[in-house]
């Protein structure tokens, strides 16, 4: 099961991604987290200290084999790639990082996106693994097809016009990719007016609403302290809401794993 999170900058994708990864891992799921942002922050949100994350290896472009059919794939077994290039995080989460710019004016990150796309594709062959990828705010990952291999695209939005508009644009691009399920997660919802705005938006654009995470001062304080939300407020309303999304993903993963067995039987 491969889950990608996208949305406008500041919508809360990284906090949701990190919390989701650790909740899934605590429930007994093998989790691979991918930081698909060229300005990576997922390691710190997971609880990996700055010194370790600063020295973490990026996915090298040499891992990619380009094919005319089916898109890029890895040149090595995916389990070996994750073991060698991954960073061990809390609760058994394994984190891998997309490449970032090393210098100014050195060109685009095409090869970095291709490497992540190849990793996502090959991780689909790992039936007992849930992959969670935290995407950058730019819709470039859609135009490059980085998330084409996702089984679920979670569009994280705040209940405001500009955030919802960003989600609308990403959802339109997602329609052109073979992503079987696209849904919206409302984040930082302060009141009934905000909740209604997201619900009406989803209904208007025929998008599934996957859940609603309330505004919480605990999230702000955890971020200011540089502490993962799950460690700072494990019983808080935000973690409780994200845990419901984790349950949805586990159920979908079990259904996906059961489908081939049912067809074979």
Reading the block at residue 264, the tokens are 């074979």
- State yes or no: pLDDT of 106 exceeds 60: no
- Structural domains in the chain? 2-100+109-260 (3.40.50.300)
Per-residue pLDDT tens for 86-104?
999 999 999 999 866 554 5
Cα dihedral value 184, 39, 85, 55, nearest 10: -140
- What number is the average pLDDT over the span 147-171? 95
Quickly list H helices, 50-143.
Answer: 50-54, 78-85, 110-123, 140-143
pLDDT for the residue 224: 95
pLDDT at 72: 72
DSSP 58: B
Q: Which distant-in-sequence residues (6+ apart) come within 8 Å of 89 by Cβ? A: 21, 22, 33, 43, 46, 47, 48, 95
User: Which long-range contacts (C-beta less than 8 Å, at least 24 apart) are formed by 200-206?
Assistant: 201/157, 201/164, 201/167, 201/168, 205/168, 205/171
The predicted-structure confidence for 173-202, as pLDDT tens digits, reads as follows 999 999 999 999 999 999 999 999 999 999
Give the chain's end-to-end CA distance (angstroms, integer).
21
Measure the CA–CA gap between 30 and 127, rounded to whole angstroms: 10
Residue 43 to residue 27: CA distance in whole angstroms = 20
203-242 tens-digit pLDDT: 999 999 999 999 999 999 999 999 999 999 999 999 999 9
């Amino acid at each position: 099961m491969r889950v990608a999170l996208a949305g406008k900058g500041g919508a809360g994708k990284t906090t949701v991604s990190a919390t989701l990864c650790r909740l899934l891992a605590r429930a007994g799921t093998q989790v691979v987290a991918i930081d698909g942002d060229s300005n990576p922050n997922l390691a710190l949100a997971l609880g990996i200290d700055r010194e370790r994350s600063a020295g973490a290896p990026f996915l090298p472009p040499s891992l990619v084999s380009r094919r005319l059919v089916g898109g890029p794939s890895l040149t090595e077994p995916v389990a070996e790639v994750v073991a060698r290039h991954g960073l061990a995080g809390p609760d058994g989460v394994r984190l891998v990082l997309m490449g970032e710019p090393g210098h100014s004016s050195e060109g685009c990150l095409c090869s970095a996106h291709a490497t992540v796309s190849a990793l996502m594709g090959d991780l689909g062959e790992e039936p007992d693994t849930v992959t969670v990828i935290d995407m950058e705010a730019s819709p470039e990952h859609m135009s490059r097809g980085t998330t084409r291999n996702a089984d679920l695209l979670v569009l994280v939005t705040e209940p405001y016009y500009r955030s919802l508009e960003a989600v609308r644009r990403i959802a339109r691009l997602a329609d052109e990719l073979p992503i079987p399920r696209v849904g919206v997660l409302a984040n930082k919802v302060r009141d009934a007016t905000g909740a209604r705005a997201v619900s009406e938006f989803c209904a208007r654009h025929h998008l599934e609403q996957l859940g609603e995470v309330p505004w919480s001062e605990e999230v702000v304080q955890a971020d200011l302290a540089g502490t993962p939300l799950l460690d700072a407020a494990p019983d808080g309303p935000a973690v409780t809401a994200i845990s419901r999304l984790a349950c949805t993903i586990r159920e979908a993963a079990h259904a996906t794993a059961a489908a081939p067995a049912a067809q074979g039987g």
